[in-house]
Amino acid sequence: MDALAIQELNLLDVQEVLQYKGYSVRLLHEFGQKTPYMDYGKIAELWESFRVHDVLFTDEIKGDLEAFIDIMMNPRSVWLEIFSLESNTPIGVANLSRVIPGFDASGHFAYWTGSSRVREDLIKIVMKWVFDRYKLHRISAEVPEYQKGVIRFINRIGFKKEGTRREGTIRHGSWRDLDMFGILSSELEL
């Protein structure tokens, strides 16, 4: 992996958190505080990017802008935007919810473009940054059992399956199982 340019972070002043191979990761929101980069236009842009991907939403969120904003502005969450410097467009987001500094967070990563190798490297870099910034011991993830590609992806970056939450989500009116995964800070390999 190439050397990283990780900058000191002052929440209200910084737009770029880190850069890697033509991509940047920008902090949008942290614990109820939005960065200057996160304005209503950015929220609308993210909503438009997300809503075309049916797989990103469960039935209780799909098509509901207000529910989406509630999730984005949750005071126990952190949102980062993964951005292509070449095309000057966002290609994905990283979201941590239920963040308990010094312990655990629930991670969610969504891409709508980009090569899989760069995605793996970027997610590992983001995970290293959040492990360090929030002094996390672990990051947890829940993936619907039907998202086989996502499950293969998170296994490749080091997550281990820890169990199944039976009928833990609803999609298209059907209850679906959620596979539960975790990675410890000591297991992350860059």
**Distance from the first to the final alpha carbon of the chain:** 7
Q: Exposed, middle or buried: residue 159 (CB in 10 Å: 0-12, 13-18, 19+)?
A: buried
Instruction: Look at residues 190, 169, 67 and name the one whose alpha carbon lies nearest to residue 125.
Output: 190
CATH topology of domain 5-138: Aminopeptidase (3.40.630)
pLDDT tens for 38-53 read 777 887 887 777 766 5
pLDDT tens for 71-107 read 777 888 888 888 888 888 888 888 898 999 999 999 9
Euclidean distance between CA atoms 123 and 91, whole angstroms: 13
pLDDT tens for 115-157 read 666 778 888 888 988 899 899 999 999 999 988 988 998 999 9
Instruction: Look at residues 78, 74, 80 and name the one whose alpha carbon lies nearest to residue 92.
Output: 80
Domain boundaries, the chain: 5-138
